[in-house]
Amino acid sequence: MSNFLPSLETFAKGTLATAATLSTVGAGLLWYGQNYLIYPSAFPPGSRIEVPAPSDFGIPYQDLELRTPDGILIRCYLLPQRKSLHADHPEAVRVPYDDSESDDEFIASRPTVVMFHGNGGNLGHRIPLAKIIFMKMRCNVLMCSYRGYGLSEGSPSEKGIQIDSQTVLDYLTSDPNFNKTPIILYGQSIGGAVAIDLASRNPSKIGALILENTFTSLPSLVPHALPLLGPFSFLCHQKWDSASKIHLIPATTPILMLSGARDDLVPKAHMRALWEAVAKRGEKKTSGGKEYKVGLERAKYMEFKSGGHNDTCVQTGYWPAVADFVASLGTPVAPEKSNPDPKT
């Protein structure tokens, strides 16, 4: 027994040393390497140099290069509408227009959807989704490429992407055609956090939000997404704290929330928590002695029982819900019945 005790002591010391080392490595990885974990812009391999273009999918578009206030060049895709789109593209839904109006006037009469993508891949991988919005709903579309993604310059970070999204919005609001259109923010996963942040900082400029499988905040997501690093979630300096920003978005701003019940990356509890925050932002009014909320009727939550993190957008009913939501904003669109097969 006496010979065994030193062995136990040695084992205990070794275990403590290993735990201390792993803790130090874990903390260092989260603190210094979190940008690589959160923004894997080079995955799938080739995503930084191989960027599909809308023309690959038969969509007319414009390359849009925007220089941010801190000097970063971000390369986006702009898909402006035109009256005769259905003549050249049979899949495009025909919408009423005045023969006397110009294409610029037609652009100004249609909603503009700004797409903020998830943290993997590049904007080109989301073109099948943009095609539905552009062809079937006849919206103008601006696909944002964050810094450090696709062919955009720089390295991604929360502060940097906030600057990128603001630069995109400033472009639209300064353009003589797009500044007349209702601006709808469509964000998937971390793109939803980008949309919430942008709307919270520009409450009077955003017409509506469409949010899919996004989270309350990144620190609260770490224990689920990276269980081994859960104890160090307090070191996560990339916050994207959407839960604390929802109340800054006016109760009258329509919000559509789309959640995949089988999301294995962002637990559906995050979307439900955000929905509760959306419900609380309603303005309380009293009529006939009864208290009610104004604004909540313009928000909607939908859960798709078979939807995972990357395939909620191909679930039955997803695109009709988006089309109905856009139509409810005052612009008629035709529901899309088929599903795309995007690389998300």
Provide the token pair at 211.
């949010």
309 flagged as catalytic: yes
Return phi, psi of residue 113, to 5°. Answer: -105, 125
Contact yes or no for 254/240 (Cβ under 8 A): no
Provide the token pair at 21.
């080392």
Distance of alpha carbon 263 from alpha carbon 309, whole angstroms: 4
What CA–CA distances, in Å, run from 91 to 58, 132, 325?
10, 10, 21
Return phi, psi of residue 21, to 5°. Answer: -65, -45
Pairing mode of beta strands 62-67, 112-116: unpaired
Q: What 3-state DSSP class applies to 282?
A: coil
Nearest to 131 by CA among 123, 220, 43: 123
Catalytic residue chosen out of the listed positions 175, 200, 309, 324: 309
241 flagged as catalytic: no
12 by Cβ neighbours in 10 Å (0-12 / 13-18 / 19+) ranks as: exposed
Nearest to 143 by CA among 157, 124, 158: 124
Q: How far is CA 130 from the centre of its chain?
A: 13
Dihedral of the alpha carbons of 314, 298, 162, 69, in degrees to the nearest 10: 120
Contact yes or no for 50/73 (Cβ under 8 A): no
Catalytic residue chosen out of the listed positions 47, 157, 165, 189: 189
Catalytic residue annotation:
189, 263, 309
